[in-house]
């Protein structure tokens, strides 16, 4: 049972890593969007996540499009929850 859980964790980690290049492409697309609000929001998100905030305290954002369970602190989410959330966000992106 423990080996199965470990294999699942490794699999989820591998799948998330495989999504990194596409995630970077989406961010780049958003940064080059004609929609100024989308460009600005994306730029601020990138800056915020890389430690460049205008305040000493990190800014916490509540994203209305995330599902209720995702409002937990990301650090408290297990890999399966994080994986499912990423996949749902990708599906939403594909639908738009």
Domain boundaries, the chain: 2-95
pLDDT digits (tens, 9 = 90+) for 21-46: 999 999 999 999 999 999 999 998 88
Rounded to two decimals, what is the model's pTM?
0.45
Portion of the chain with pLDDT greater than 70, in percent = 66
Q: What share of the chain is helix, strand, coil (3-state, %, to 5)?
A: 70, 0, 30
pLDDT digits (tens, 9 = 90+) for 72-84: 566 677 777 777 7
Give the side-chain half-sphere CA count within 13 A for 25. 7
Higher pLDDT, 85 or 48: 48
Amino acid 60: pLDDT: 55
pLDDT, mean over the chain: 76
Cβ contact 8:80 at 8 Å = yes
């Amino acid at each position: 049972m423990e080996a199965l859980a470990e294999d699942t964790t490794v699999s989820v980690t591998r799948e998330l890593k495989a999504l990194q290049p596409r995630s970077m492409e989406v961010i780049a697309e958003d940064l080059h969007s004609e929609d100024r609000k989308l460009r600005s929001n994306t730029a601020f998100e990138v800056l915020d996540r890389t430690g460049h905030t205008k305040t000493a305290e990190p800014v916490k954002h509540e994203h209305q499009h995330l599902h209720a369970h995702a409002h937990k602190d990301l650090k408290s989410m297990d890999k399966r929850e994080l994986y499912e959330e990423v996949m749902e966000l990708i599906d939403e992106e594909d639908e738009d």
